[in-house]
Every structure is written in C-alpha cells, then in structure tokens.
C-alpha cells in the first residue's frame, strides 16, 4: 500500500485537525483513489458532527494505489501542523506501516515528520436527514470575525432567524453582543427565509460553533442551514471545491 499526496494550503488541515483535537482523540481518513479524502467524525457526546471532504482534483499530487483508511492521532498531528505557515504546502506519505507529514515551504524546503501508523476501530457515521427551512450564505471572513468575538462573550450562541435575515448573539453578565446578517446591508449573499413561521431562535454551545472560527477566515463562503429546534448545518466552501460541514445539536434549555 503506497500513498503520496500534496495539497497547496496546509493551513486548512492545520485549522480543521487542530479544532477536532479539542474534542476527539483519533480519527480515520478515508483515502479513495478516484474520489479523494474524507474525514467524518462525531464527538463522544454526540453533539457535533464534522464532515471534511477534499476531492482528488484539489491535490497537486495524488498517488493512491487502493482505498485505504488511515488512523491519525489528532493531538500529535496537530502539533506538527501548527508549524504550517501561509505559504506552506502539505505532503502526506504512507507505506502501510508509517505516516510521514511534510510541510513544503515556498522555497521548496521540506520539513518531514514521521510516525508509526496506529490501529483503531472505525464506526461509520450515518448520513443525517434533516429538513431545514432556512438558508443563509455569507462570506467566510465575516463569520470568522463575528465568532472570534462571540467565543469570548459566553458559553452559548443564539442564532435567531427572521424574515429579513439571521443574527448571532452571545451574552454574559457584562451584556450582550449581536451580529446581524441580512441582504439589505449586504452581509448575506443569499437568503431563504422560513415560510411557515415569522421567526425562531435556537441556542448552541459556543465551543462547538466556534470550532470553525479559524478555517472560516480562509473560506470563500459560509452557509447556515437552520430549522426550529434542529441541529444547525454550517457549510464552508474552501479552495478547489474542498468542503467542511459542521452539524451541532441545539441546547436544551
């Protein structure tokens, strides 16, 4: 079994895997010779589900002999990837016994870190079937900026949906901060309001929603899909059709 991959922006891997390391110890990467790489994982409390997909076409180099499942220890790998800079490429290599992670600088210098492949059990995460009634799309840096402030405000983020748009609110004993997104101000690129009701509000634990804060900064767009008392789906469009989807279950007040 031989794998050799090169991806143009190591920061995407850095942000996704570093964020996951706060919730999950080991994840499995499904590497498919025709499709690409997919990471799908749920945190132990079953509050958050992450679906990270990089198509084969997004890689500068993609040599995969057969479909393979690579298990990685997130804390160890994220410590390596935290060295990734803005211009670094990521290289992954495996011979079936070891995993090598390389960071390739703009000047072509390669820093390689090697570790034994680990064994683990893989539980297939089922596809979610949710009927959302609201769709709101905005720019990635806009969402990242809002969440970077809200994560310091309190433990809960409330997402309110109205006919004009959506808002994200955090509160503490010092007060409340609200970020409003609507098409009138141009903070929403696209919006589908709820048809059956005028408005609704869902509450989510801040630590799960703000998982996307770093990677949203380099996302082209971020799309929220919502429904009353439903998990929220947050979809990030990244470079070369790479996608990150986050599902977070609402808090029960």
Q: 231 near 247, Cβ under 8 Å?
A: yes
- Residues 7 and 103 placed together within one structural domain of the fold: yes
Query: Cβ-count burial of 82 within 10 angstroms (0-12 exposed, 13-18 middle, 19+ buried)?
Result: exposed
Q: Please, what sign has the CA dihedral across residues 15, 16, 20, 26?
A: negative
Q: Is residue 71's pLDDT more than 80?
A: yes
Look up the domain containing 47 and give its range.
3-116
- Residues 9 and 78 placed together within one structural domain of the fold: yes
The answer to whether residue 45 is domain-embedded is yes
At 5, the pLDDT band (50, 70, 90 cuts) reads very high
The answer to whether residue 71 is domain-embedded is yes
pTM: 0.94
- Residues 112 and 139 placed together within one structural domain of the fold: no
155-177 residue pLDDT tens: 999 999 999 999 999 987 778 99
Domain boundary among 82, 116, 150: 116
User: Which residues does residue 180 pair with via DSSP β-bridges, in sequence order?
Assistant: 167
- Residues 109 and 14 placed together within one structural domain of the fold: yes
Distance of alpha carbon 221 from alpha carbon 225, whole angstroms: 13
Instruction: Please tell me the predicted confidence (pLDDT) of residue 118.
Output: 86
- Residues 104 and 180 placed together within one structural domain of the fold: no
- Residues 107 and 146 placed together within one structural domain of the fold: no
Q: Is residue 241's pLDDT more than 80?
A: yes
Q: 90 near 103, Cβ under 8 Å?
A: yes
197-206 residue pLDDT tens: 889 999 999 9
- Residues 111 and 193 placed together within one structural domain of the fold: no
The answer to whether residue 149 is domain-embedded is yes
- Residues 152 and 184 placed together within one structural domain of the fold: yes
- Per the structure, the count of domains in the chain is 2
The answer to whether residue 14 is domain-embedded is yes
178-200 residue pLDDT tens: 999 998 888 999 999 998 888 99
- Residues 46 and 104 placed together within one structural domain of the fold: yes
- Residues 180 and 151 placed together within one structural domain of the fold: yes
53-66 residue pLDDT tens: 999 999 999 999 99
Q: 137 near 110, Cβ under 8 Å?
A: no
Between the alpha carbon of residue 141 and those of residues 39, 48, 215, the distances in Å are 24, 22, 9
The answer to whether residue 127 is domain-embedded is no
- Residues 173 and 234 placed together within one structural domain of the fold: yes
The answer to whether residue 204 is domain-embedded is yes
Domain boundary among 83, 116, 149: 116
At 1, the pLDDT band (50, 70, 90 cuts) reads low
226-251: b (≥16 Cβ within 10 Å) or e: bbbebbbbbbbebeeebbbbbbbbbe
With a pLDDT cut of 70, the percent of the chain lying above it is: 99
91-125 residue pLDDT tens: 999 998 899 999 999 989 999 999 988 887 777 88
Lowest mean pLDDT among 3-12, 143-152, 167-176: 167-176
- Residues 182 and 104 placed together within one structural domain of the fold: no
Q: Tell me, what CATH number does 213's domain have? A: 3.70.10.10
Q: What is the DSSP string of 132-184?
A: --EEEEEEHHHHHHHHHHHTTT-SEEEEEE-SSEEEEEEEETTEEEEEEEETT
């Amino acid at each position: 079994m031989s794998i050799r991959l090169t991806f143009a922006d190591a920061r995407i891997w850095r942000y996704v895997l570093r964020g996951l390391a706060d919730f999950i110890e080991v994840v499995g990467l499904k590497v498919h010779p025709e499709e690409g790489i997919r990471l799908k994982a749920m945190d132990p409390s079953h509050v958050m589900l992450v679906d990270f997909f990089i198509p084969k076409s997004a890689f500068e180099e993609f040599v995969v002999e057969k479909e393979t499942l690579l298990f990685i220890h997130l804390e160890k790998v994220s410590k390596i990837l935290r060295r990734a800079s803005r211009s670094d490429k990521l290289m992954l290599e495996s011979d079936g016994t070891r995993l090598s992670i390389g960071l390739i600088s703009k000047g072509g210098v390669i820093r390689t870190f090697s570790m034994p492949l680990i064994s683990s059990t893989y539980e297939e995460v089922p596809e979610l079937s949710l009927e959302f009634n609201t769709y709101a799309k905005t720019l990635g840096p806009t969402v990242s900026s809002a969440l970077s402030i809200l994560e310091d405000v309190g433990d809960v983020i409330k997402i309110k949906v109205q006919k004009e748009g959506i808002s994200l609110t955090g509160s503490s004993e010092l007060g409340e901060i609200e970020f409003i997104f609507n098409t009138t101000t141009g903070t929403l690129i696209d919006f589908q309001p709820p048809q059956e009701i005028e408005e609704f509000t869902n509450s989510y634990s801040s630590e799960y929603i703000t998982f996307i804060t770093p990677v949203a900064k380099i996302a082209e767009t971020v799309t929220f899909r919502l429904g009353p008392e439903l998990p929220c789906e947050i979809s990030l469009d990244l470079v070369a059709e790479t996608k990150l989807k986050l599902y977070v279950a609402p808090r029960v007040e």
